[in-house]
Chain A
Amino acid sequence: MKKIGIEKINLYGCSLFMPQAELARARGKDPEQVVNDYLINTRSLNPPYEDTVTMGANAARNLLTEEEKNQIGLLIVGTEGSVDFGKPISTNIHRALGLPPNVRNFETKHACYSGVAGLDTAISWIASGLNRGKKALLIATDFSRQHFHKDHEFVLGGVAAAVLISEEPKIIEYEIERNGYWTTDIYDTFRPTARQEAGNNEVSLYSYMDALEGAYKHYQESVGPDLNFDNDFAYNMYHMPFPGMAFQAHRVLCNLARPRKKSEIRESFNQKVLPSLRYASRVGSTYGASNFIGLCGLLKSIEQAGPEERIGFFAYGSGAIGEFYSARICPGAKQRIEDLKIDEALDQRREVSFEEYELIEKIRENAVEQPEFEPDLTLLDDWYARHYAGQKYLVLKSVRDYYREYIWS
């Protein structure tokens, strides 16, 4: 069986952020409780000249050398925030990144499962040998919509991840024969229009746990009776609609293996799961990029990654599906993540005030589905001139008669 895994990875956490405590205060909630419940310290925010296309491209912009671009044979972009119902944003990103023409590309949708749906497709393509030596570029890019005054206003945000999947894994190697998935038809959270994000958070939490248990049991079938939850995984990573969810998810699997006290679960959580929350707590909801953001956070946070240590992953998409899969950490992976300087990139984001947050979200919402739109680059004290200009970030220049033009800043 071929070795298949992540050769390169990076993430893009937008260029603005809003402190969660500020938002809680402005909405008359207890800031400490809001931060502690959701474990989000700050949430990402996009200026009006960014969208899921620019985020995806900006995650990938420094990922590939010119030579590597010619090795790409498949580009999959997972999102639930596309800017078009027909034309996939993989085509916009393909052009922006300057990839060669012989690249199969498309968009995947399954709420927050879009990224891992794409990952599975890329892995299967490589495993089959039909890739003829080529590599796959997988991008997961998502951003929330405007939800002033709603309960879920505290679990919004956005982030994109770009991942190079190949037969030369250098970050993690997937255990492609170990895999479990579980699905059910349910309306938990969904996006019935280009502006709405509807649903019931409680139904979603319940359905997440059903999917977690179902997918883990299916994974267990693929491994056999020797699987030992406590001993076999050095780390566990869970889909994070908000990072606080990860504790509950770990609690479910711990108790499934062997019922135990909350304090013992807390200890296991701190050791095996908490390191993966590092970046999610800075960007907010991680949507389809969740497992990749968790992976970057984990490798950055742990003191030392033992080679071959196994990570158990759980991906979830509303609608709903869950998938449990696993991978081994490659030698040198931690250093490669260190070299990305993700913390430093997030530190460069500009903090916005509550008033600026409301202003930007209103502008963004009003621009949705508009045939004509030209984003104001002078917003937020000339943030474009100070952060973007000359730095080669992809931005939306204009929308003319629905045609979207993107340029590198």
Chain B
Amino acid sequence: MDKEQIYAVIKKHLLENVEDLQEADIDPQKSMKDYGANSLDIIEVVSCAMRELNIKIPRSELAEIKTIDELTNKFVANSSVES
């Protein structure tokens, strides 16, 4: 699965979990927190995206990730190992 597809899945779950957020407003260089997501929302976005992408990473490894792009890269790296 390429980066574009993974980013699309993360974005979809971010839009589902954060109110009043428009797709055009999302900048991957920013943190989900910049869009009003609290820690619990972020956990949900990460959990749902991992489930859909069939990626298994201990969530605790994701806590230090700062931006949406970094999260996408982490998933890309893990996805290629899996396949």
Whether a CB of chain A sits under 8 angstroms from the CB of B77 is no
- Specify which chain A residues have a CB less than 8 angstroms from the CB of B40 in the assembled complex: 205, 244-245, 247-248
Contact yes or no, A206 B60, CB < 8 A:
yes
Residue in A200, A207, A245 whose beta carbon sits within 8 Å of that of B59 in the complex? A207
Whether a CB of chain B sits under 8 angstroms from the CB of A365 is no
Whether a CB of chain B sits under 8 angstroms from the CB of A381 is no
Contact yes or no, A210 B38, CB < 8 A:
no
- Specify which chain A residues have a CB less than 8 angstroms from the CB of B17 in the assembled complex: 262
Question: Total number of A-B contacts with CB less than 8 angstroms?
Answer: 47
Whether a CB of chain B sits under 8 angstroms from the CB of A64 is no
Contact yes or no, B60 A252, CB < 8 A:
no
Q: How far is the CA of A251 from the CA of B62 in the complex (A)?
A: 19
Contact yes or no, A210 B47, CB < 8 A:
no
Contact yes or no, B63 A203, CB < 8 A:
yes
- Specify which chain A residues have a CB less than 8 angstroms from the CB of B63 in the assembled complex: 200, 202-203, 205-206
Q: Say whether, besides A37-B38, A206-B43, A248-B40, A255 and B59 are in contact (CB < 8 Å).
A: no
Contact yes or no, A210 B60, CB < 8 A:
yes
Contact yes or no, B44 A186, CB < 8 A:
no
A202, closest chain B residue (CB):
B63
Q: Which of B29-49 contact A (CB under 8 A)?
A: 38-40, 43-44, 46-48
- Specify which chain B residues have a CB less than 8 angstroms from the CB of A210 in the assembled complex: 58-60
Q: Which of A165-209 contact B (CB under 8 A)?
A: 184, 186, 188, 200-203, 205-207, 209
Interface centre among B16, B17, B39 (most CB of A within 10 A): B39
- Specify which chain B residues have a CB less than 8 angstroms from the CB of A262 in the assembled complex: 16-17
Q: Say whether, besides A248-B40, A248-B43, A248-B44, A207 and B51 are in contact (CB < 8 Å).
A: no
Contact yes or no, B39 A255, CB < 8 A:
no
B44-83 vs A: 1/0 string, CB under 8 Å?
A: 1011100100000011101100000000000000000000
Contact yes or no, B39 A205, CB < 8 A:
yes
Q: How far is the CA of A383 from the CA of B2 in the complex (A)?
A: 65
Q: How far is the CA of A280 from the CA of B48 in the complex (A)?
A: 28
Contact yes or no, A252 B47, CB < 8 A:
yes
Whether a CB of chain B sits under 8 angstroms from the CB of A259 is yes
- Specify which chain B residues have a CB less than 8 angstroms from the CB of A209 in the assembled complex: 43, 47, 59
Q: How far is the CA of A259 from the CA of B51 in the complex (A)?
A: 9
Contact yes or no, A201 B39, CB < 8 A:
yes
Query: Which residues of chain B have a CB within 8 Å of any CB of chain A?
Result: 16-17, 38-40, 43-44, 46-48, 51, 58-60, 62-63
Query: Which residues of chain A have a CB within 8 Å of any CB of chain B?
Result: 37, 184, 186, 188, 200-203, 205-207, 209-210, 244-245, 247-248, 251-252, 255, 259, 262
List 9 A–B pairs whose Cβ atoms lie within 8 Å, in order of A's numbering.
Answer: A200-B63, A202-B63, A203-B63, A206-B43, A245-B40, A248-B43, A259-B48, A259-B51, A262-B16
Supply 13 further A-B pairs (C-beta < 8 A) apart from A205-B43, A247-B40, A248-B43: A37-B38, A184-B58, A202-B39, A203-B60, A205-B63, A206-B58, A206-B60, A206-B62, A210-B59, A244-B40, A248-B40, A248-B44, A255-B47
